[in-house]
Amino acid sequence: MHKASDDKQYHYHQALSRLERFSYWTDSNIRVPFTRFRFGLSPLIGLIPGAGDFAGLILSLYVLYEARKVGADSSVKRKMIRNMLLEFTLGLIPVVGDAFDAVFKANTRNTELLRRYLYSELDEEPERTFPWVTFIWFSLLILLLGWLMYWLFG
């Protein structure tokens, strides 16, 4: 019995480790100089007109695949799909959508959803939570920059 529990824990932690690396590269591997804000390859891919947001959606399916592999329940997977579709849909809006993609970070959110689910399955506490303060601060910064661009060029 103890061996099966250890195998399950190992399997869960391995899946989370893979997803953390994936989320890092897609959502936060590039740091904006002189700030603590980070973004990843996903918003950069989203800059490609038409195909970029679709490619980002396809990449995000990896997190859902891992969730399915470890047996996440349907409510967790539904929340993941909602996050993916929200980022995809709003990402289609020129400029604003690309900024939203950089801030929303669906892969990081979905990895965190799965982390909370798996840790509850193991009766453990997750190590960290989503950085809401940074999310809100950067959203306000994007709005301010958008307003400034509109004021200067609009």
Tell me the percentage of the chain whose pLDDT exceeds 90.
42
Instruction: Tell me what the mean pLDDT of segment 27-52 comes to.
Output: 86
Q: Which amino acid is at 109?
A: R
Closest CA to 27 of 130, 144, 152: 130
Give residue-wise pLDDT tens across range 89-112. Answer: 988 888 788 888 888 999 999 999
Per-residue pLDDT for 140 more than 90?
no
Q: Is 34 helix (H, G, I), strand (E, B) or coil?
A: coil
Q: Which of 47, 44, 35 is nearest to 94 (CA)?
A: 47
Give the least confident one: 16-20, 28-32, 47-51: 47-51
When pLDDT is cut at 50, 70 and 90, the band that residue 1 belongs to is very low
- Helix (H), strand (E) at residue 11: helix 2-23
Mean pLDDT for 14-25 is 93
**Which DSSP symbol is given to 10?**
H
Task: Identify the top-confidence range among 61-75, 83-97, 132-146.
Answer: 61-75
Q: Name the residue type at position 86.
A: L
Mind listing the pLDDT tens digit for each residue in 47-61? 888 788 899 999 999
Contact 67, 80 (CB under 8 A): yes
Residue 38's SS3 state is: strand
Model pTM score: 0.74
CA separation for the pair 107, 42 (Å, rounded): 9
Per-residue model confidence as pLDDT tens digits over 112-139? 999 999 988 887 665 556 667 777 777 8
Distance in angstroms (rounded) separating the CA atoms of residues 145 and 27:
21
Find out whether 106 and 85 touch, Cβ atoms under 8 Å. no
CB atoms closer than 10 angstroms to residue 107: 28
What is the rounded distance in angstroms from the CA atom of residue 122 to the CA atom of residue 70? 12
pLDDT averaged over every residue in the chain: 86
Q: Are 57 and 84 in contact (CB under 8 A)?
A: yes
